[in-house]
Chain A
């Protein structure tokens, strides 16, 4: 009887040790890449942010992304200043966050077919539900998520002065690529 109780204790202990020994189940990407493009007949604008952070919960398929607007690099320095000061107003709204979950996630990161992610994008003071398609890849044993989608500048309350309406596309094309490694606190 006493032996049995001890062995139960040891079993429980071992179980817990096993649980704690594993990493949290979260994967992190510290240098994710997000590019956006605005193509019009007048002007092509593109910018890239190489310092996007993202985290996924390996078990539940939840995804969160955060980026600083000031980290976007443009070809022209003045364009970058205008972007931050007059369009996205990065001193008031310094970052963009996205929080979502892979649809019908069964705990397996299949690389065969693209998946859909539903989530909330919080940007320029506006919170909006968006759905986007992602492709899942496995590169050097690391999980890689990538994809592209379009956002409407009107949806996020970005105002363009009438004179510059021909220069800036109403629909901005966004591309992203995140490579994840296990997250340890």
Chain B
């Protein structure tokens, strides 16, 4: 009988299809059907600032951020100091608002040097995990107004010469879940022609890095190399080292730095001392950033 093997084949086929697919095969199908949503790399840096200088990050739409910064330091050759804990103090208050996921603007004021500053940030390219976009690029335009003389800097009376501008392109990459790095080619127009003698147009290369120590704590550092500066006579390059610590809506940035200022121009330019651990070189501070969501999103949850 010829139909016997045919029947057998048929039986086998039927059996094979009737058994169906097992759990793993179902999961394999789901892997194919998984939604293709854009996955942007998040938390390249944890806040809008590495420590003092701008980072590649901006906040999500409708987020208002308050920054309260403090900096304490001792002045050199001041052994008979009567001051409590530290000789000098500087405070900073700033606010910034994210108009969209890409665009943020902000302003701030600093007590010690009397600088008012404002900035706008635009996130041009966002690093992605799902597609081949290996870097993120953010553009920053900022301005600082020097309202009074401070330290040894005498400012011109003409108010237009007290205004300085900064333009930055921040290029960043999160290499893995722990390590992020950014470089920022920067152009600074120093209205008063300080600290580099009578040179108003300055170029600078900024660097920033973050290393995650734990789920809520990371190490951060930044450096700014100013081209054409005679270090020592014409001040020193910015260096800071610190720790970022996030607690819910609050982010604390503890830092050691040679900068006395908080804004993007004077922290890069006006640092009379190099970074060291003796009085004058060491400035210890905390920046507390509080994040307020003005526009809450609607997750449309199942619980009505």
Enumerate A18-73 residues with CB–CB distance to B below 8 Å: 19, 24-26, 28, 30, 33-35, 37, 46-48, 50-51, 53-57, 59-60, 62-66, 68, 70-73
B300 touches A91 (CB 8 A): no
Chain B minimum-CB-distance residue to A54: B30
Which of A26, A64, A82 is within 8 Å of B248, CB to CB?
A82
B129 touches A91 (CB 8 A): yes
Flag if A81 contacts B299 (CB, 8 Å).
no
Q: Which of B26, B43, B296 contacts A85 (CB 8 A)?
A: B43
A51→B300 CA distance, assembly (Å): 12
Most chain B CB neighbours (cut-off 10 Å) among A47, A53, A92, A100: A53
Across chains A and B, the number of contacting residue pairs, with CB separation under 8 Å, is 156
B26 touches A26 (CB 8 A): yes
Known A-B contacts A16-B10, A68-B37; the reply to A86 vs B216 at CB < 8 A is yes
Q: Which of B26, B61, B301 contacts A64 (CB 8 A)?
A: B26
Contact with A along B286-304 (1 / 0, CB 8 A): 0000010100111111110
Contact B293 A78 (CB under 8 A): yes
Which residues of the other chain, B, contact A30 by a CB distance below 8 angstroms?
33, 35
Which residues does chain B contribute within 8 Å of A177, judged by CB atoms? Answer: 302
Stretch with Cβ within 8 A of A (4 or more), from B15-23, B75-83, B193-201, B276-284: B15-23
Is B303 a contact partner of A35 (Cβ separation < 8 A)?
yes
The interface stretch among B1-9, B131-139, B225-233 is B1-9
Contact partners of B157 in chain A: CB under 8 A: none
What is the minimal beta-carbon distance from B195 to any residue of chain A, in angstroms? 38
Interface of B is mostly: loop
Is B247 an interface residue, CB under 8 A from the partner? yes
| Distance of A57 Cα from B29 Cα, bound (Å) | 12
Q: Is B246 part of the contact surface with A, judged by Cβ < 8 Å?
A: yes
Indicate whether B154 reaches chain A with its CB closer than 8 angstroms.
no
Asked whether A163 is an interface residue with its Cβ less than 8 Å from the other chain, the reply is yes
Q: For A35, list chain B residues within 8 Å (CB).
A: 299, 301-303
Closest residue of B by beta carbon distance from A64: B26
Segment among A4-12, A108-116, A124-132, A134-142 that sits at the interface with chain B? A4-12
CA distance A93 to B96 in the complex (A): 33
Contact call A97/B302, Cβ cutoff below 8 A: no
CB distance from B31 to the nearest CB of A (A): 7
List the A residue with the shortest CB-CB distance to B6: A12
For A66, give its contact among B34, B248, B296, B302 (CB under 8 Å).
B34
Contact of B23 among A54, A99, A167 (CB under 8 A): A99
B104-129 interface (Cβ within 8 A of A): 129
Chain B 43-69, CB-CB to A under 8 Å as 1, else 0, gives: 100000000000000011111000000
Cβ-based interface call for A74 (8 A): yes
Q: Which residues of A from 130 to 171 have beta carbons under 8 Å from B?
A: 159, 161, 163-164, 167
Which B residue's beta carbon lies closest to that of A13? Answer: B10
Please tell me if the beta carbons of A81 and B43 are within 8 angstroms of each other in the complex. yes
- Output the nearest chain B residue to A11 by Cβ-Cβ distance: B10
* Contact A12–B7 (Cβ < 8 Å): yes
Q: List residues of chain B with CB within 8 A of the CB of A46.
A: 299, 301, 303
Query: Contact partner of A164 among B17, B33, B248, B301, CB < 8 A?
Result: B248
A102 within 8 A of B: no
One of A64, A75, A164 near B297 (C-beta < 8 A) = A75
- The chain B residue with its CB closest to the CB of A65 is B30
Nearest opposing residue in chain A for B43, CB measure: A85
Which residue of chain B has its CB nearest to the CB of A37?
A: B303
Q: Report yes or no: B303 in contact with A175, Cβ–Cβ below 8 A.
A: yes
Across the interface, name the chain A residue whose C-beta is closest to B61: A77
Cβ–Cβ < 8 Å partners of B37 in chain A: 51, 68, 70-71
**Contact status A57-B215, CB under 8 Å:** no
9 closest Cβ contacts across the A-B interface? Answer: A77-B60, A64-B26, A48-B299, A86-B215, A99-B23, A66-B30, A35-B301, A35-B302, A51-B35
* B positions within 8 Å CB-CB of A: 2-3, 6-7, 10, 13-14, 17, 20-24, 26-27, 29-31, 33-35, 37, 39, 42-43, 59-63, 129, 177, 215-216, 246-249, 291, 293, 296-303
Can you identify 8 A-B contacts, CB atoms within 8 angstroms? A28-B29, A35-B302, A46-B299, A78-B59, A91-B129, A91-B177, A97-B27, A175-B301
- Given contacts A55-B29, A78-B249, list 7 more A-B pairs with CB under 8 A: A26-B29, A48-B300, A53-B33, A53-B34, A64-B23, A73-B299, A161-B216
